[in-house]
Amino acid sequence: MLMAASKALVDAPYMLSTAEDLKKLSLEDMQRELEHYSTNQNCIKLVAEYENELVGAIDFRNGNKEKIAHQGSFAMTVLPQYRNHGVGRALVESLITWARNNETVEKICLEVMEDNHGAIQLYKSLNFVEEGRKAKAVKMEGRYQDLIMVALFI
C-alpha cells in the first residue's frame, strides 16, 4: 500500500502530502493509522483496485470532539494513469453513500487547490458547495495557491 501511495504522490501536484512525507512514516505509524480506521466507526478508508493493483484511495475522518463529530474531511489520491476515468468519482460517491448510512456524519468537507479544475468540477457535479478560501495556503515552487473549502451536507 505504501508503494502505491508513493507512486500516486509522485505526479500529484494537488496533494498536500508528498512522496517524501511518506518516507518519514514508520511501520508503527502506518499500523496505528490503520488501527484508527478499523476501530472508529466515523472514519473510513476506501481503496480502488484494478487488476489487483491499488489505483486510488480516499480517507475520511470526522471531528474528534463531540461538538464537531457531525462533520469531517477527506483526502483522495488516484494514480496518474487512472485519473479522468471515473475512479475519483467512484471513490467520492462511495464515501457519500457510506456517510449517508452513518448515524453521526452530517457534513463532508475538503480543501482543494484553486488550480485543480478537474477536482473542483467533480465536487460541484456532486453538489459540494464552496464555503470559503484560505488565501495563499499552499506554496509550491515559489508560487502560492489558495485552498478552496467545499462541503456537502448529507
Q: Which residues on adjacent β-strands are paired with residue 113?
A: 147
Contact (Cβ atoms closer than 8 angstroms) between residue 89 and residue 122:
yes
Contact (Cβ atoms closer than 8 angstroms) between residue 71 and residue 63:
yes
Distance CA 2, CA 126 (A): 29
pLDDT score at 50: 94
For residue range 8-62, list pLDDT tens digits in order.
444 555 555 555 655 676 778 778 877 877 888 999 999 999 999 999 999 999 9
pLDDT score at 145: 95
For residue range 63-74, list pLDDT tens digits in order.
889 999 999 999
pLDDT at 153 over 70: yes
For residue range 65-104, list pLDDT tens digits in order.
999 999 999 999 898 899 999 999 999 999 999 999 999 9
Domain that holds residue 36: 2-153
DSSP state of 17: S
Across 147-151, average pLDDT: 98
Which pTM value belongs to this model?
A: 0.82
pLDDT score at 143: 94
At position 94, the amino acid (one-letter code) is S
Q: How many domains does the chain have?
A: 1
Kindly list the distances between the CA atom of residue 70 and the CA atoms of 67, 92, 102, 104, 114, in Å, as whole numbers in the listed order.
Answer: 7, 18, 10, 5, 26
DSSP state of 82: G
Distance CA 61, CA 46 (A): 12
Other CB atoms closer than 10 Å to residue 136's CB: what's the count? 11
Distance CA 74, CA 72 (A): 7
CATH number at residue 69: 3.40.630.30
